[in-house]
């Protein structure tokens, strides 16, 4: 997984640019486990810097990600195929 966490004045935003699971390891929950690890790190970072507001996680919609929209929706992300990115707010 490739992602980035950035902090502006009062908001922590995490962007996931890329996630890849080898074919033989797909459909076993490994992608969801990998994402949850990323989400845990995002929560830890926000607590470390003292943020008590919602954290925004974004998935940019690119050609390679269009096919995985169902996966991201199962993890609580919102948006459509026409959106620029899928978004999930963590409280």
Question: Residue ranges per domain, the chain?
Answer: 2-90
Secondary structure (3-state) at 65: helix
3.40.470.10, 3.40.630.30, 3.90.1150.10, 2.40.160.40: which CATH number matches 2-90?
Answer: 3.40.630.30
The length of the chain is 91
0.75 surpassed by pTM: no
pLDDT digits (tens, 9 = 90+) for 16-39: 887 888 888 888 999 899 888 888
Torsion of CA 66, 72, 74, 75, to 10 degrees: 180
CB 12 within 8 A of CB 46: yes
At residue 67 the predicted structure's pLDDT band, cuts being 50, 70 and 90, is low
Beta strands in the chain (DSSP E): 2-7, 12-18, 55-60, 85-90
Note the Cα 78 to chain centre separation in Å.
Answer: 11
């Amino acid at each position: 997984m490739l992602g980035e966490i950035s902090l502006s004045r009062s908001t922590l935003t995490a962007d996931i640019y890329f996630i890849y699971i080898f074919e033989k390891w797909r459909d076993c929950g490994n992608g969801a486990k990998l994402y949850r690890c990323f989400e845990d790190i995002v929560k830890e970072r926000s607590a470390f810097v003292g943020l008590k507001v919602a954290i925004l996680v974004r998935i940019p919609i690119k050609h390679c990600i269009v096919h995985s929209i169902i996966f991201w929706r199962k993890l609580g992300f919102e948006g459509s195929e026409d959106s620029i990115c899928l978004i999930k707010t963590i409280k």
